[in-house]
Amino acid sequence: MESVIFHVDVNSAFLSWEAVYRIQVKRERLDLRTIPSAVGGDVKKRHGIILAKSLPAKRYNIQTGESVSEACKKCPELVLVPPQYELYERCSEAFLSILKQYSPNVEQYSIDEAYCDMTGTKYIYESPYEITCEIKDRIYKELGFTFNVGISCNKLLAKMASDLKKPNMVHTLYPKEIKEKMWRLPVSDLFYVGRATTKKLHTLGIHTIGELARTDIGILRSHLKKYGELIYDFANGRDTSYVIDERPKNKGYGNSTTIPFDIDNRNAARMVFLVLAETVCTRLRKDGVSAAVVAISIVDFEFRHCSHQGRMP
């Protein structure tokens, strides 16, 4: 039986969650999503970076990851709100718990994204589209925010589908639709293809996903090694990884996050580590255990890993 995989992705997650919080909890009338607004680190000092922005802010060409001062230059009336990581975790949990009512196999990919294996729903619902509408309506009613859904037969295609037009959309990207929907996209839109790889591919004359898909695999191998094979498979819509609902248990306590932009300075990196460490420590205290070895790993935008660890006295 062919798999049915969903990739769900909350639209402007941090901003949406803040907007809903202000409306539902603080009883504010203003919906941040309807005005130029953004979540930015250290708003008072006017430095830090834009973590998420509203659609009206996007129209001013404000980009996630750019500096707050840069963004304010583009749009002086931009309303900035500070990040609230605890709120995001609560929203993320509520979101996932509803998804888990529709699939026994939900893999959290980041704080606002998940893969759901919906293969079994064939027996209950007429079509994947029907169940998607039900989930979308329900989450909007109960939690107040929208998200994109990508539907396909594997994780890669589902992920690519959910990235098509935003917000609040449902897209399919089945193998027979790859040519029409995916191959015309710039190669930088392909999952796993970061800025450095895009540059390399451009020098090879590869500009679209379709061009990558039709490139001789030998050429890609010689320039990009194993990684070249991976993105070649992706460009052709091939992905054999499974939706895994729980990471294998181990004796350690860990926490991770995916940042939607490159972290390239110490302060921003420290902020991310602090947020991650805080929740890990809370869990350690709750379980009444202590740790001896601390390890940190980083995976960059090309999925290169690096890690360090140290033993505490």
CB of 166 to Mg ion, least distance (A): 8
**Using CA atoms, how far apart are residues 147 and 20, in angstroms rounded to an integer?**
14
- 49, 29 Cβ separation under 8 angstroms: no
In the set 77, 86, 113, 211, the catalytic residue is 113
Only one residue has tokens 């449902």, namely 170
Of residues 152 and 236, the one with the C-beta less far from Mg ion = 152
Task: Please identify which residue in the block is written with the tokens 């980083």.
Answer: 298
Stretch that binds Mg ion, among 2-10, 212-220, 222-230, 285-293 (CB under 5 A): 2-10
In sequence order, which residues have a C-beta less than 8 Å from that of residue 184 and are 6 or more positions away?
Answer: 208, 209, 210
Closest separation in Å from C-beta 8 to Mg ion: 9
Q: Is 25 left (phi over 0), alpha (psi -120 to 50) or beta?
A: alpha
**Which is nearer to Mg ion, 13 or 231 (by Cβ)?**
13
Q: Does 18 bind Mg ion (CB under 5 A)?
A: no
Stretch of residues binding Mg ion (CB under 5 A), selected from 4-12, 28-36, 99-107, 127-135: 4-12
Q: Residue 12 is encoded by which pair of tokens?
A: 């402007």
Which of 172, 204, 175 minimizes the C-alpha distance to 187? Answer: 204
**Which of 112-120, 158-166, 171-179, 297-305 is the region at the interface with Mg ion (rule: CB under 5 A)?**
112-120
Cβ closer to Mg ion: 190 or 201?
190
Tokens (6 digits) for 263: 């972290």
Residue (of 180, 158, 182, 121) closest to 239 by Cα position: 158
In angstroms, give the least distance from the CB of 158 to Mg ion: 14
CB of 51 to Mg ion, least distance (A): 11
CB of 300 to Mg ion, least distance (A): 20
One residue of 9, 18, 107, 239 binding Mg ion per CB under 5 A: 9
Stretch that binds Mg ion, among 8-16, 27-35, 128-136, 247-255 (CB under 5 A): 8-16
Please, what is the angle between helix 217-235 and helix 195-203, to 10°? 130
Among 18, 112, 163, 239, binds Mg ion (CB under 5 A): 112
Q: Is 113 a catalytic residue?
A: yes
Q: Which is nearer to Mg ion, 24 or 168 (CB)?
A: 168
CA-wise closest residue to 8 among 127, 145, 91, 113: 113
Which residue lies nearer to Mg ion by CB, 10 or 78?
10
Q: Which stretch binds Mg ion (CB under 5 A): 94-102, 108-116, 163-171, 301-309?
A: 108-116
Closest CA to 3 of 93, 112, 121, 140: 121
Backbone angles phi, psi at 155, to 5 degrees: -65, -45
**Whole-number Å distance between alpha carbons of 59 and 193:** 25
CB-based contact 268:41 (threshold 8 Å) = yes
Total site size for Mg ion, rule CB under 5 A: 4
| Shortest Cβ 273–Mg ion spacing (Å) | 22
Residues taking part in catalysis: 113
Task: By CB under 5 A, name the binding residues for Mg ion.
Answer: 9-10, 13, 112
